[in-house]
Amino acid sequence: KNEVEQSPQNLTAQEGEFITINCSYSVGISALHWLQQHPGGGIVSLFMLSSGKKKHGRLIATINIQEKHSSLHITASHPRDSAVYICAVYNTDKLIFGTGTRLQVFP
């Protein structure tokens, strides 16, 4: 069983839709990252969370430490949001990655 599970694995949306991607983990963590990977392969950090909620533009990330669960929300989705979104948790001195959620937003 993966230590970091994401759902859904694939997500298709129409432009403007509200998107939610979920992440559950089974190990102790000190922090959680949401990352974005574009088709070219490059990875960009979106958020780092250790508690509560963060917002950046149309992106919102929340974490519930007790339930070992985090969500990434995208409001008013746009085709340029199409990418793979990865949840990764800090466990001791390493990051453990989820398998990613592939999002496609159509105009």
Partner 1 sequence: EPEVTQTPSHQVTQMGQEVILRCVPISNHLYFYWYRQILGQKVEFLVSFYNNEISEKSEIFDDQFSVERPDGSNFTLKIRSTKLEDSAMYFCASPGGAANTGELFFGEGSRLTVL
Q: How is residue 81 annotated by DSSP?
A: G
Residue 80's SS3 state is helix
Is 65 near partner 1 (CB under 8 A)? no
Stretch touching partner 1 by CB under 8 A, among 14-22, 65-73, 75-83, 92-100: 92-100
Is 100 near partner 1 (CB under 8 A)? yes
Taking the CB of residue 83, how many other CB atoms lie within 10 A of it? 20
Which position among 17, 22, 48, 58 is part of the footprint of partner 1 (CB under 8 A)? 48
Is 66 near partner 1 (CB under 8 A)? no
Farthest-apart Cα atoms in the chain, separation: 42
Which position among 22, 31, 54, 60 is part of the footprint of partner 1 (CB under 8 A)? 31
For 24-79, give the DSSP string: EE-S--SEEEEEEE-TT--EEEEEEESSEEEEETTEEEEEETTTTEEEEEESS--G
Stretch touching partner 1 by CB under 8 A, among 11-19, 20-28, 41-49, 61-69: 41-49
Which position among 22, 58, 68, 97 is part of the footprint of partner 1 (CB under 8 A)? 97
Q: Locate tokens 């509200």: which residue?
A: 18
Residues that bind partner 1 (CB under 8 A): 30-31, 33, 35, 41-45, 48, 50, 86, 88, 90, 92-100
